[in-house]
Structure 1
């Protein structure tokens, strides 16, 4: 997964696409990044998209279907949520602080 920034036609705004290894947009993620977070600052959109990519990679490493997990349980299983937090903390310079991968 990679982040691609695109300039929206006719307006002075950037949108963020998440593409697969072949460069094709990942629909379920791009719908969110192009519709739900539109209108925010370009840097905010980019940071949110990086967080999404980070979480998707974590789920992929653990072979977790995020859509199914969130729809059924909402990640309430303590070990999954703790694993995600630990994963995000491992990329932080400060203990107990979560920062996105750059």
Structure 2
């Protein structure tokens, strides 16, 4: 006797590619290709002008070791991890961002 599992094509493909939705209000980190360091981010949902929005917060360290952050407003209610990482990598965060201090801070969490 054996047990058979049937997967839908989309779920099988997504699982195989490691594509997954972002969990809201859960901090994570990703590599920023321009600054060559990890940055912390989290996403929360909200509304602006009665439209459902996602707010992406990207946090980093400045040269003086203070915290800096950037908020990026996104349309919709769901987003995948790979999309978030692409958005973060295309975003200019701050001229004061210190890659070494940001990386050390991310590693300490």
| TM-score in terms of structure 1 length | 0.30
| Structure with bigger gyration radius | 2
Greater length-normalized contact order (CA 8 Å, ≥ 6 residues apart): 2
